[in-house]
Amino acid sequence: MNNPLLQKFDTAPFSKIKNEHFKPAFLEAMDDARSEIDAITANTENATFENTIETLEFSGQQLDRISSVFFNLNSAETNEEIQKIAQEVSPLLSEFGNDITLNEDLFKRIKSVYEQKASLTLSVEQKTLLEKRYKSFSRNGANLSEEKKSRLREIDAQSSKLKLAFGENILAETNKYQKHITNEADLEGLPEGAKEAAAQLAKSKGKKSGWMLTLDYPSYIPFMKYAKNRELRKELSLAFGSKSFKGDELDNQEIVLKIANLRHERANLLGYKTHAHFVLEERMAETPEKVHSFLNELLEKAKPAAEREFKELEDFAKELDDIDQLQKWDSSYYSEKLKQKLFSLDDEQLKPYFKLENVIDGVFEIAEKLFGLQFEEVTDIDKYHQEVKTYRVYDSEKNFISVFYADFHPRAGKRGGAWMTSFKSQWKKDGENVRPHISNVCNFTPSTDTKPSLLTFNEVTTLFHEFGHGLHGMLANTTYPSLSGTSVYWDFVELPSQVLENWCYEKEALELFAKHYETGEVIPMELVKKIKESATFQEGMATMRQLSFGLLDMSWHGADPSQITNVKAHETKAFEGTNLHPDTPETCMSTAFAHIFQGGYSSGYYSYKWAEVLDADAFAYFKEKGIFNKEVATKFKEHVLSKGGTENPMVLYKRFRGAEPKVEALLERAGLLNIS
């Protein structure tokens, strides 16, 4: 079989790839990578940085490319066949990874180079690579006995299958719920655009008339925010909150308990007290104690504000609709009404100024003003779905920088949320700077028969956020692929994404792209002022919500989970100090908390807040010098965006900013500085 995945390719040859190509390609690429490893261990010369560390770094590149194509498709354009292949190849890849990490001959050579490091003449990046490579082996079992190595392999194989099953169950649950509305009165309050999208969705699902509601964000969020029908809001809210928590074949409770226990056992095997101790050793936060102290310090500042805001919301709902007890399905609705009352501002006023194409042009122009980048849309790059847009990115001297893929709307084969990923890393070898292929995937409100895709302000900030990650990938300029782009400490990775969101609130930036889709009129200053004023609206509640997720994550991973028998009871206890609404027994967050049970955020959810401290402090520097100040932007590009994981992130940050970040910058921006 002529397998396109086993040919040499630059951009992924999506149109040539069939599902049956994947497994044979994985198997052959794993064999090739094993041969490359064998060549390193069979080398009779003494181990050196070049013949061991560097050769290992550039081994298995074909396998990396195949994996990135396959697993990106499994997230953005999956089907039952791809999911089945994922279940088959994930344990094989896990075993392959362990074959390398637990290869004694290979580790001996790595250890030998590591022990000579004081006498070697290495660059900063080479030292980091050596350190990282040694640790990746020692932290993953290279020093264990054979019996313990064997158990480690079992744990990793089981975990990889459980994580996949966890994600598949959530996707199936999301796709399963479809509420067909036939009475227009049930949609009272819903904006025209959202109604039209719901009618279009009903048609696409084979209904002759009516409106369709689903649990996809572009359908779910507007309904929760605007629909007057409280019973329907409750139904949707409970459906959303009970994903994979119904005791049926899509239930994730058992999976959550198994994943948490396997992670704990793995950490113990490797000599760590808990999974969090293992993870945080390689993070800026360093220890679970520091994470708890950080989360609790912020909680102390945010809680009085959150409680005051919640009381204000309760009083408002009581006054408006005689609501005695504010429930989870009421919050968005009354928050939006209160926001309109206080600021005379709602998403419907703003959306006409945020046509998707204009926002894309805007974020590109901001990237040009800050970093000299130019984006050229092209049609000669193969793509995995017709909705995907493809670009070639150049610098101001017309040097090629990156390929950029953008995929913006929900579909049945795409998981919810928004993310940045890469189809090819950046590295330097044999005098060539190999440039990366970066992708942003989102789930934004699609266009309808009468309107283009008009984004909510929240979707605008999401686009900027993911594009910030994208810039981190695109501007990578390191020698080694494993230190390139977003390959940084996990609690540093959100800095580039979160800092870019700040431009969405600035007049100078908004004027570039916030133009009415029909008239071309630039967003009025009065609306810009309201966006800024409302930026800290209910910030106490929002902060407490984020902190509650961080505390839930630490509750699963920062202690021995073996005594936890009831997922919901455990979660309720973890949320004790952060709850504002009454509990709903039929919902559970953990069973759909993909960030920590499927993605890479286990013991790391706190990093969103941690990175907010970094981004508030970093943006304060831009504000001080001017938001398009070239000198500050160049420093940010040179010391943060291009450096990847080549040095300790705090060293890089201080080189950019001249000092460590201050938590006060975040508190001040959030309006929580002098609240008691």
Interatomic CA distance for residues 120 and 497, integer angstroms: 36
Q: Are 429 and 473 in contact (CB under 8 A)?
A: no
Question: What is the predicted pLDDT for the residue at 1?
Answer: 67
Q: Is residue 377 flagged as an active site residue?
A: no
Q: Is the pLDDT of residue 470 over 60?
A: yes
- From 22-26, 353-357, 524-528, the region with the lowest mean pLDDT: 524-528
Average pLDDT score over residue span 290-303: 94
Judged by average pLDDT, the poorest of 120-129, 324-333, 532-541 is: 532-541
Residues listed for the chain:
676
Q: Is residue 481 part of a domain?
A: yes
In this structure, the strands spanning 400-407 and 419-424 are unpaired
Is position 378 within any domain? Answer: yes
- Say how many domains are in the chain: 4
Q: What is the mean pLDDT of residues 308-317?
A: 97
Pair (368, 315) in one structural domain: no
Residue 114 has pLDDT above 70, yes or no: yes
Question: What's the rounded mean pLDDT across residues 272-282?
Answer: 96
Task: With respect to residue 150, please indicate whether it lies within any of the assigned structural domains.
Answer: no
Q: How many Å from the N-terminal Cα to the C-terminal Cα in the chain? A: 69
- Tell whether 370 and 514 lie within a shared domain: yes
In whole angstroms, what is the distance from residue 11 CA to residue 405 CA?
A: 11
Q: What is the mean pLDDT of residues 537-549?
A: 95
Nearest residue to 437 via CA among 453, 419, 425: 425
Candidates 306, 347, 353; CA nearest to 537 is 306
| Structural domain contains residue 172 | no
Q: What is the CATH number of the domain that holds 575?
A: 1.10.1370.10
Does any domain span residue 622? Answer: yes
User: 121 and 68: one domain?
Assistant: yes
360 shares its domain with 466: yes
Please give the residue range of the domain that contains residue 138: 4-143
d(Cα 438, Cα 471) in Å, to the nearest integer?
9
Cα separation, 477 vs 425, whole angstroms: 10
Q: Are residues 649 and 590 in the same domain?
A: yes
Q: Per residue in 222-256, pLDDT tens?
A: 999 999 999 999 999 999 999 999 999 999 999 99
Helix, coil or strand: residue 607: helix
Mean pLDDT, range 417-435, rounded to an integer: 96
57-102 pLDDT, tens digit per residue, is 999 999 999 999 999 999 999 999 999 999 999 999 999 999 999 9
Question: To the nearest 5 percent, what fractions of the chain are helix, strand and coil?
Answer: 60, 5, 30
Q: What number of other Cβ atoms are within 10 A of residue 349's Cβ?
A: 15
**Is residue 346 in a domain?**
no
39/100 same-domain check = yes
pLDDT tens figures, 141-189: 998 999 999 999 999 999 999 999 999 999 999 999 999 999 999 999 9
CATH number at residue 496: 1.10.1370.40
- In terms of C-beta density within 10 A (0-12 exposed, 13-18 middle, 19 or more buried), how is residue 585 classed? exposed
* 662: amino acid identity, one letter: K
Q: Read off the pLDDT band of 676 (50, 70, 90).
A: very low
Query: Could you say which of 143, 159, 192 is where a domain stops?
Result: 143
Q: How large is the average pLDDT for residues 392-397?
A: 97
Q: Look-up: residue for tokens 């006023």?
A: 349
User: 272 and 214 share a domain?
Assistant: no
Residue 552 contacts residue 571 (beta carbons within 8 Å): yes
As a whole number, mean pLDDT of residues 26-52 equals: 97
Are 481 and 394 part of one and the same domain? Answer: yes
* 246 occurs within a structural domain: no
What mean pLDDT do residues 449-474 have? Answer: 96
pLDDT, residue 348, reads: 87
CB-based contact 306:543 (threshold 8 Å): yes
Q: Does residue 545 sit in the same domain as residue 609? A: yes
From residue 282, how far is each of 290, 492, 573, 665 by CA, in Å?
13, 11, 28, 25
Together in a domain, 540 and 608: yes
State yes or no: pLDDT of 566 exceeds 50: yes
324 and 269 both lie in a single domain: yes
Residues β-bridged to residue 406: 389, 440
Per-residue pLDDT tens digits for 503-527 = 999 999 999 999 999 999 999 989 9
- Out of 201, 220, 241, a domain closes at 241
| Cβ atoms 636, 495 nearer than 8 A | no
Same structural domain, 580 and 505: no
544 backbone dihedrals φ, ψ, rounded to 5°: -65, -35
Kindly name the residue from 77, 466, 506, 571 that is annotated as catalytic.
466
Last residue of a domain, one of 201, 217, 241: 241
* Within-domain flag for 384: yes
